[in-house]
Amino acid sequence: MERREFIKKISLLGGLALVSRYLPACRPVKEETAMTKVSLVKTADRVEGTRQAIKLLKINPVKGKAVVLKPNFNTADPAPGSTHIDTLRTLITTLKEMGAKKITLAERSGPGDTSRNIMEKKGVLRLATELGFDIVNLQEMPKSDWVLFRPPDSHWKDGFLFPRVCREAESIVQTCCLKTHQFGGHFTLSLKCSVGMLPPGLGPAGGEYSYMNELHSSRFQRQMIAEINTAYSPDLIVMDGVEAFVDGGPHMGTRVKAEVMLGSSDRVAIDAVGVAILRLLGTTPDVSRGKIFEQDQIKRAAELGLGVKSADQIELITGDKDSAEYAKKVKEMLGKG
């Protein structure tokens, strides 16, 4: 081979090697699906169920942090109308055992009775003294303690006020119930629990304004519920499904024994599992209709990147035979829907 031809071939091979560094591989690479965990405990015991639901997740997002805890105290009605005191007590005790340096319960009630009266009726004020946690009554906060939040491409007219204590929290934990919603939300699970973070009558300019009127009068109510959730991201969610409302709600409805506790850090995933359980129990046409990930709250939240986008991304974690058998039924329902 002549020297000139040799150099030409070597240059060509070198060029191909260089180009190959920037070309995709010939063999297609299968993209891994990101999975998220939802723990499922089949139990009628809220104390053990709460502890086990958290333990199965094998996470500790609260150690050394000041935690804001958001319960469901819209009213003082018995669970699932509102958070059961046993669930709340166990959750706070567990968070302390996990190393939370401070716990602040932040909540707003209504319409109707005041947050302070409701928390007194539920025994929350006594529990705060007993266990040593703070309470922030969102119903009594001044304008200076709220920040205006405008989600992009939102159905809210001018965004909404959101509590500074939640926006600036080092860690947020939420506990919600398993129930339907008769006033347009269709279901009240984790995403819907966030509605209680909006002010009762305070507007963006500091005057009187009802975000609840704006929400309930809109045909995009369920999308707006999801959009509230863009203002924060919980580190841990515990859903109390020992009892459930399969119709009515949020304060009263047809009560059934679902005997399940759920845990996750993903609002979309835990709500999808909650809807699947409601369908297994037999629920309203609105909650039963169509695919689960086509439910307006869940669909909009997934579009906004607040959690998983399909049932295939949900991994149900259990720790015993009864829970595993029930999880199979839930997974089948998720697959159907």
Number of domains in the chain: 1
Look up residue 39 and give its amino acid. S
Residue 40 covered by a domain: yes
Which pLDDT value is given to residue 209?
Answer: 87
Residue 4 covered by a domain: no
Angstrom distance (rounded) from CA 109 to CA 107: 7
Neighbours of 330 (CB within 10 A): 22
Residue 47 covered by a domain: yes
Mean confidence (pLDDT) of the chain? 90
Residue 240 covered by a domain: yes
Burial 271-298 (b: 16+ CB within 10 A, else e): bbbbbbbbbbbebbebbeeeebbebbbb
Q: What is the pLDDT of residues 82-91, one digit of tens each?
A: 999 999 999 9
Q: What is the pLDDT of residues 223-267, one digit of tens each?
A: 999 999 999 999 999 999 999 999 999 999 999 999 999 999 999
| Range of the structural domain that residue 260 is part of | 29-336
CATH number at residue 232: 3.40.50.11440
**Two structure tokens written together for 275:** 């809807």
Residue 321 covered by a domain: yes
* pLDDT above 90: residue 17: no
Residue 286 covered by a domain: yes
Concatenating the DSSP letter of every residue in 224-267 gives HHHHHGGG---SEEEEEEEEEEEEE-SSSEEEEEEEEEEEES-H
Which pLDDT value is given to residue 112?
Answer: 67
Residue 103 covered by a domain: yes
